[in-house]
Amino acid sequence: MRRTLIAALLILATPSIAYAQAEAWWGHVTILADDSMRGRETGSPEHRRAAEYVAGAFQRAGLVPAGSDGWFQPVRFQVRRIAEGRSSLALVRGAKAESLDFGKDATINLRSSSAGKVDAPLVFIGYGVYSREHGHDDLAGLDLKGKVAVVLAGAAPKGVPGPALAAGRAAAAEALHQRGAVGVLTIYSPHSDIPWERYALARLHPQMRLASDSTAHAGGGTVTVVLNPARAERLFSGSRRTYASVQALADSGAPLPRFDLPVRLRATVAVDESEAVSDNVVGLLPGADQLLKTEYVALTAHLDHLGVGQPVAGDSIFNGAMDNASGIATLIETAATLGARSTRPRRSVLFVAVTAEEKGLLGSDYFAGHPTVPEGGALVANLNTDMFLPINPLRRLLVNGLEESDLADDVRRAAGRLGIEVITDPEPERNAFVRSDQFSFIRRGIPALSLKVGFAVGSPEHDRVLRWRQERYHGVEDEVTQSVDRQGAEDFNRLYPEVVTEVANRTTRPAWYPTSAFRPETGSH
Ligand SMILES: [Zn+2]
């Protein structure tokens, strides 16, 4: 919907020195999230236009081009789209096949599926988590060869803490593959931030892999299906448990039974493949200290969003105003603030607008694997901001990763000076620390933090966040017509450069705490 101009005018109609940062920030948001940017899909001409806008803003801020090609670091992708007309899914019970409708009943996750046919019995394996250190193994004692494993998404077993969960799921997926399973059927969480209907629409967006990622092509004859929880009961009928009973157990983190289900999955997967190139945008503020300037603090925010999809109530553009034009706008304003100061930070600061976050953190993965720093330079920390949600005042700063590294000291010092309280994630079960671009740095051993406007569980502010997720997150309603808290936006944009300065000026190199589950085994960094 074309209401951009009106929203911009509403803001401009009441200019105020008190909100100078917020207004400059909002100016970038309205441009990047305008309908003409068509949702900034990775690889699209509009994403390139947005990247050029960011490069221009970095230049005006006084940054130095620091990509592999001027301001840009082009990244190559393999693009895959499901060809639903040539694909099919069915549940087979005895001689009776019951087909599943794409979108209504189920979707195929192309990230971990290969083209071909699978016809295999189902085995329910509960949470689908394997963590040796926490004594949890959902695969123990099961015959998985030639079977499709059924797991509950978004549920966590008691006793496996958040940071270990992502690793525990990845380890189980790897073990399933090694033990001959031919697929995974995930029952979508009935408690997800994103309702099934909105999630199912996303199946039509192209999925991507890094063209340089050779391991992504491994496998063959495997399929990952995601099932609407409203259809899950039909998997269990005729078995010794109902779906409702196992979901209820999972909701409390209780141990889950694991057993064969009396149905088979029959899947035919057809895929259309193509290629795309999309840019990371990289600007450098060189460090002032002769020794420390070879250490680089990477600031990231993702520029891409979901592009254009099926119309919902007449609108088909996923504008991504909060997700994540808001974070890019903060990156730009931080560059402007630091670039205008007479004293530069001691370490070098890289401003990186990454592509393909929505495709699985791919642009940041590529950057962290191929950092555009001169020889002898090293990335020593990452600060990320993704959808920091200034829909509430900034009384508390929510920091993901606060328990993991001594970057916590820097953020506390910066926030303390502005009288802002620093809090840990009040919703640890969402595993936000591994769900945005900071994870591309974390898994390479680089300490990282992600910052947002905070709230207390059960507060009116929390309600506002929950409502925002239900109504707008990854929906066409994440537009520039929504209202933001100007004071919250102002304060966040004032605080962020201070956090960056603290990290860039600290004496010692940032380090993981010895207790962190993310600390690399070698103990370096
Ligand atoms: Zn995002």
Flag whether pLDDT at 1 surpasses 50. Answer: no
* Cα 305 to ligand 1 centroid, rounded to whole Å: 7
- Tens digit of each residue's pLDDT (9 = 90 or more) over 328-340: 999 999 999 999 9
Please write down the HEC assignment for all residues of 325-353: HHHHHHHHHHHHHHHHCCCCCCCEEEEEE
Q: What's the DSSP call for residue 85?
A: G
Q: Which of 216, 342, 229, 262 is nearest to 96 (CA)?
A: 262
pLDDT of residue 228: 98
pTM for the whole structure: 0.84
Residue (of 112, 198, 116, 115) closest to 149 by Cα position:
112
Ligand 1: distance of its center to the CA of 79 in Å?
A: 20
Please tell me the distance between residue 376's alpha carbon and the centre of ligand 1 in angstroms.
32
Alpha helices in 421-485 (DSSP H): 438-442, 460-471
**Phi, psi dihedrals of residue 162, rounded to the nearest 5°:** -45, -55
Dist CA 408 CA 449 (whole Å): 8
Average pLDDT, integer, range 217-239:
85
Position 523 scores a pLDDT of: 44
How many Cβ atoms sit within 10 Å of the Cβ of residue 470?
A: 13
Asked whether the predicted pLDDT for residue 318 surpasses 50, the reply is yes
Looking at residue 191, the DSSP 8-state letter turns out to be T
Task: Supply the pLDDT for residue 525.
Answer: 42
pLDDT of residue 201: 87
Those residues with Cβ within 8 angstroms of residue 224's Cβ, 6 or more apart along the chain or in another chain: 108, 109, 111, 112, 113, 183, 184, 185, 186
How far does residue 434's CA lie from ligand 1's centre (Å)? 12
Ligand 1 centroid from CA 420, angstroms: 24
243: pLDDT strictly greater than 80? yes
Residue spans of alpha helices (H) in 203-325: 233-236, 243-251
Q: pLDDT at position 166, please?
A: 78
**Ligand 1 centroid, distance to 433 Cα (angstroms):** 12
pLDDT of residue 290: 96
Centre of ligand 1 from the C-alpha of residue 274, in Å: 24
Is the confidence at residue 168, as pLDDT, over 60?
Answer: yes
CA of 195 to the centre of ligand 1 (A): 17
- How many Å apart are CA 328 and CA 303, to the nearest integer? 6
What mean pLDDT value characterizes the chain? 92
Whole-number Å distance between alpha carbons of 235 and 238: 8
What does the pLDDT read at residue 218? 45
Q: Are 358 and 304 in contact (CB under 8 A)?
A: yes
Q: What is the mean pLDDT of residues 386-411?
A: 96
Confidence check: pLDDT of 289 > 60: yes
Q: What percent of the chain has pLDDT over 90?
A: 79
Q: Could you tell me the pLDDT band of residue 522, with boundaries at 50, 70 and 90?
A: low
The answer to whether 299 touches 351, Cβ cutoff 8 Å, is yes
pLDDT of 458 strictly over 70:
yes
CA distance 431 to 167: 11
How many angstroms separate the alpha carbon of residue 357 from the centre of ligand 1? 7
Coil/strand/helix, residue 292: helix
Contact at 8 Å (CB) between 127 and 255? no
pLDDT, tens digit (0-9, with 9 covering 90-100), for 72-113: 999 999 999 999 999 999 999 999 999 999 999 999 998 778
Give the pair of three-digit tokens for residue 160: 């496996």
How remote is the CA of residue 137 from the centroid of ligand 1, in Å?
A: 32
Strand partners, 295: 378
Measured in Å, residue 440 CA sits from the centre of ligand 1 at 14
| 411 confidence band (pLDDT: 50, 70, 90) | very high
CA of 436 to the centre of ligand 1 (A): 7
Helix (H, G, I), strand (E, B), or coil: what is residue 68? coil
In whole angstroms, give the CA distance from residue 300 to residue 64: 16
Q: For residues 404 and 447, what is the distance between their CA atoms, to the nearest angstrom? A: 8
Q: How far is the CA of 61 from the centre of ligand 1 (A)?
A: 24
Q: 104 CA to middle of ligand 1, Å?
A: 25
Distance 353 CA to ligand 1 centre (A): 12
How far does residue 481's CA lie from ligand 1's centre (Å)?
Answer: 18
